[in-house]
Amino acid sequence: MTTFLQQVFNGLTLGSIYGLVALGLTLVYGILHIPNFAHGALYMVGAFMSYFFMVDMGVHYWIAMAGSAVVVAVLGIICERLVFHQLRNSPPIHDKIAAIGILLFLEAMVHMFWGSEFRRMSSPFGGVMNLDGVYLREQGILIIASTVVLVVALNLFLRKTMVGATIIAMAQNREGAFLVGIDANRVAMMTFAISGGLAAIAATLYAPLNLVYPAMGHLVIMKAFVIIILGGMGSIPGAIVGGMIIGFAEAFGGYYISTAYKDVIAFSLLVVILSIRPQGLFAKGAH
C-alpha cells in the first residue's frame, strides 16, 4: 500500500509538470493551429535562465522563477512576431519546419553559453516528509500546489477577464473573433507569452528534481505532444487530464514494469490509443 501511495504521489508530481508544459502547447495550438516543436526549447531555456539567475546572479528561487518566466515569455513573443506571424498564410508544413529551426537555434545558443554538461539546480525546498512510510518531497508538494494555483489562475484569467475572453473567442472561432473586432496580433502575442511563461515555470519547478542540460526539453516536449493528442489538441482540461494520465502511466509503469523503458511507455500508450482512436481520446469533432 505504501509503495502504491508513493507511486500516486510521484505520478501526481510528474503529471503536474507535464500538464503545465502541455497547457502552453495546447493554448498555442488551439489559437494559432501551430504545433510548436520549439516549445521544449523554451522549457529548456526557462530552466537555464533560472539557473543563471540563481547561481550567477545569486537571487532567490522565487525571483529567479519570475525572471525566467518573463524572459521566456518575451522570447515566445519574439518567436511569434519574427517567425510564426510571417508564416500565417503558408502551408502548415512550413510552421512545423520553422519551429524545428527555432528549436535547433535555441539549443545551439544554450550549448554555446553553458556547454553540454549536466547541472544541478538547488531549491529552498529540498526536504522530504515521511508520512507513514510514504516519502513526500517538499519540491514535489510545491510542484503539485503550484500547478493547482496556476491552473486556477489561468482559468480565472480566461473566463473572468476581458483579455482572457478574447483568447477564448479566438480559439472558438477565428472569423467570428475578427468580426467583433478582436486584435488577432495581440491575442497571438499574449498566447505565446503565457505559453512561454508556463514552460519556464514548469522547468524551474522540475529542475531541482532533475538536471539542467541543453537536451532536457526533448523528452518533455514529446510527452507534451502525446498529452495534447490524448487530451484533444487545443483543449485546456484535456491537457491537465492527459498530463495526469501520462504522469501516472510513467510512475506506475516505471515501478511495476521497467525503469529502463519508462520513457517508452508514454509513446507506446500514444501509439496504441491512436491506432484505436485516430482522433485522440477526448477530441470532439474536427479540430
Partner 1 sequence: MHPASKYVLLAVALLFPALASNEYQVYVMATAFVWAIAVYGFNVITGFCGQLNLAHGGFFAIGAYTVGLLTSDAGWNFWPAFIAALFMTAILGFLVGAVSLRLKEHYFAIFTLCVGFIIYLLLDKWEELTHGAVGVRNIAAPDGFGLVNFRETMPVYYLVLFFLVFIIWFTGRIQKSLVGRTFIAIRNGDELAESLGINLMKTKILAFVISTTYAGLAGALYAGMIRFVGPEDGNILLTFNMIMYMLVGGIGTLFGPLIGTVGIVWLTQSLQFLEEYRMIIFGPLLVLLVIFFPLGVCGSFLTWMHRKAQALGLGPKKAKSESKVTTSDQEAKNNA
Which one, 111 or 159, has the nearer CB to partner 1?
A: 111
| Among 57, 108, 131, 148, interactor with partner 1 by CB under 8 A | 108
Stretch that binds partner 1, among 33-41, 130-138, 173-181, 189-197 (CB under 8 A): 33-41
Handedness of CA 94, 95, 99, 102 (dihedral sign): positive
Measured in degrees and rounded to the nearest 5, phi and psi for residue 284 equal: -110, 120
Q: What 3-state class would DSSP assign to 281?
A: coil
Q: Give the DSSP letter of residue 233.
A: T
What is the C-alpha separation between 212 and 218, in angstroms, rounded?
12
Q: How would you class 184 by CB atoms within 10 Å of its CB: exposed for 0-12, middle for 13-18, buried for 19 or more?
A: middle
Interface stretch with partner 1, choices 78-86, 170-178, 190-198, 203-211 (CB under 8 A): 78-86
Here's the x/- map for partner 1, 146-165, by CB under 8 A: it reads as --------------------
In angstroms, give the least distance from the CB of 222 to partner 1. 6
Measure the CA angle with vertex 200, ends 199 and 204; round to 5°: 120
12 or 245: CB nearest partner 1 = 245
**What is the C-alpha separation between 44 and 34, in angstroms, rounded?**
19
Residue 89 interacting with partner 1 (CB under 8 A): no
From the list 7-15, 157-165, 169-177, 265-273, the region that binds partner 1 by CB under 8 A is 265-273
Question: Does the footprint of partner 1 cover residue 263 (CB under 8 A)?
Answer: yes
Applying CB under 8 A, among 57, 60, 63, 90 the residue interacting with partner 1 is: 90
**109 touching partner 1, by CB under 8 A:** yes
**Quick one: which of 101, 124, 133, 176 contacts partner 1 (CB under 8 A)?**
101
- Asked whether position 119 contacts partner 1 by CB under 8 A, the answer is no
Distance in angstroms (rounded) separating the CA atoms of residues 3 and 284: 37
Phi-psi region of 191 (alpha: psi -120 to 50; beta: other; left: phi over 0): alpha
State the binding string over 227-256 for partner 1 (x if CB under 8 A, else -). Answer: --x---x-----------------------
Contacts of 192 (CB under 8 A, 6+ apart): 28, 73, 76, 77, 79, 80, 84
Q: Which grid coordinates are listed for 102?
A: 527555432
Is residue 34 classed as helix, strand or coil in its secondary structure? Answer: coil
DSSP-derived 3-state class of residue 137:
strand
Between residues 107 and 250, which has the closer beta carbon with respect to partner 1?
A: 107
Taking CB under 8 A as the criterion, the residue among 63, 163, 179, 264 binding partner 1 is 264
Choice from 45, 69, 75, 102 touching partner 1 (CB under 8 A) = 102
- Report the nearest approach of partner 1 to the CB of residue 139 (Å): 26
Those residues whose C-beta lies under 8 Å from the C-beta of residue 188, and which sit 6 or more positions away, are: 31, 32, 80, 84, 85
Number of shown-chain residues binding partner 1 (CB under 8 A): 46
> Footprint of partner 1 on this chain (CB under 8 A)?
29, 33, 35, 37, 82-83, 86-87, 90, 92-94, 96-98, 100-109, 111-112, 116, 218, 222, 225-226, 229, 233, 260-261, 263-264, 267-268, 270-271, 274-275, 278, 280
